[in-house]
């Protein structure tokens, strides 16, 4: 089982690397970080530029990156269904749920690559164009450079949990839709609709989309010399995102298992 999933995942990686569209997302998030310089310029002025990183990361990942992951994952299964190539994959043999897990792993890999590129680009710009010497208040060092780095790295690790929910959400909708445009439209449309009604209906605490920026909040608060705690906000983020992601995966497995792959 594990060998089949791993083999299917490697096949998906090879297929993705051969597509030019795969490289569009990484290019766009890098350009988004570079564009953040115009709205949040940095310079060597004796002040640390962690605030630029705290600004550029959510903009590139939770806005543009979110859209890119939704589009990428929503179209991943739909493309197989619309072209009919999924029937060839099932002959190997490969169980449908194993195929779905391979797609989820591909989506997580794509999201992780975007995250690493955003982190590397934003930190490189702050390092070469600005200063990263910790956060001070007057003559007192509140957070050292090492503490700021560790807070960001922990935020990156925690961001993988809501990212899993995003990937699972888009993959679930793709499992219901044969048409690529329909899957992408449903993923984005339902997301926008829920974002519009979650606060009036007071359901925002139960939706993982409310916690996308939570993993970065401690780092962002520290850039402003504010004290910040990881809990309980991170606990709510992890619990809501993980439970939502598992639910999406189970629904996707059920939907794909009932699909007629010949029509």
- Euclidean distance between CA atoms 146 and 50, whole angstroms: 12
What are the pLDDT digits (tens) for 115-148?
Answer: 999 999 999 999 999 999 888 877 788 899 999 9
Q: What is the pLDDT of residue 137?
A: 79
State the average pLDDT over residues 219-236: 90
Q: Can you say how many angstroms the Cα of residue 221 is from the centroid of all Cα atoms in its chain?
A: 21
Q: Are 98 and 1 in contact (CB under 8 A)?
A: yes
Buried b (16+ CB within 10 A) or exposed e, 116-138: ebbbebbbebbeeebbbebbeee
Average pLDDT over residues 31-58: 91
Rounded CA-CA distance 13/109 in Å is: 9
Comparison of pLDDT for 44 and 130, the residue scoring more:
130
pLDDT at residue 99, rounded to an integer: 86
- CA 196/CA 204 separation, integer angstroms: 10
What confidence score (pLDDT) does residue 189 get?
93
How many whole angstroms separate alpha carbon 261 and alpha carbon 263? 6
Among 238, 235, 49, smallest CA distance to 152 is for 49
What confidence tens digit (pLDDT) does each residue in 161-185 have? 999 999 999 999 988 887 888 888 9
Give me the residue spans of the domains in the chain: 2-257
Q: pTM of the entire structure?
A: 0.91
């Amino acid at each position: 089982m594990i060998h089949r999933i791993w083999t299917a995942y490697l096949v998906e990686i090879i297929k993705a690397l051969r597509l030019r569209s795969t490289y569009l997302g990484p290019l766009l998030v890098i350009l988004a970080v570079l564009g953040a310089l115009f709205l949040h310029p940095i310079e060597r002025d004796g002040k640390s530029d962690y605030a630029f990183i705290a600004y550029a990361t959510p903009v590139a990942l939770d806005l543009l990156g979110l859209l890119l992951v939704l589009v990428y994952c929503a179209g991943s299964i739909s493309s197989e269904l619309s072209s009919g190539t999924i029937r060839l994959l099932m002959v190997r043999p490969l169980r449908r749920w194993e195929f779905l897990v391979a797609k989820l792993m591909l989506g997580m890999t794509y999201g992780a690559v975007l995250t690493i590129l955003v982190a590397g680009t934003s930190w490189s710009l702050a390092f070469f164009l600005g200063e990263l010497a910790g956060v001070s208040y007057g003559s007192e060092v509140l957070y050292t450079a090492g503490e700021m780095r560790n807070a960001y790295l922990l935020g990156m690790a925690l961001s993988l949990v809501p990212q899993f929910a995003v990937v699972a959400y888009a993959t679930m909708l793709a499992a219901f839709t044969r048409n690529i445009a329909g899957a992408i439209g449903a993923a984005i449309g339902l997301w926008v609709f829920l974002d519009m009604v979650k606060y009036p209906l007071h359901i925002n605490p139960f939706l993982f989309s409310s916690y996308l920026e939570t993993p970065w909040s401690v780092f962002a608060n520290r850039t402003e010399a504010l004290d910040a705690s990881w809990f309980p906000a991170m606990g709510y983020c992890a619990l809501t995102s993980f439970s939502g992601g598992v639910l999406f995966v189970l629904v996707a497995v059920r939907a794909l298992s009932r699909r007629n792959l010949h029509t």
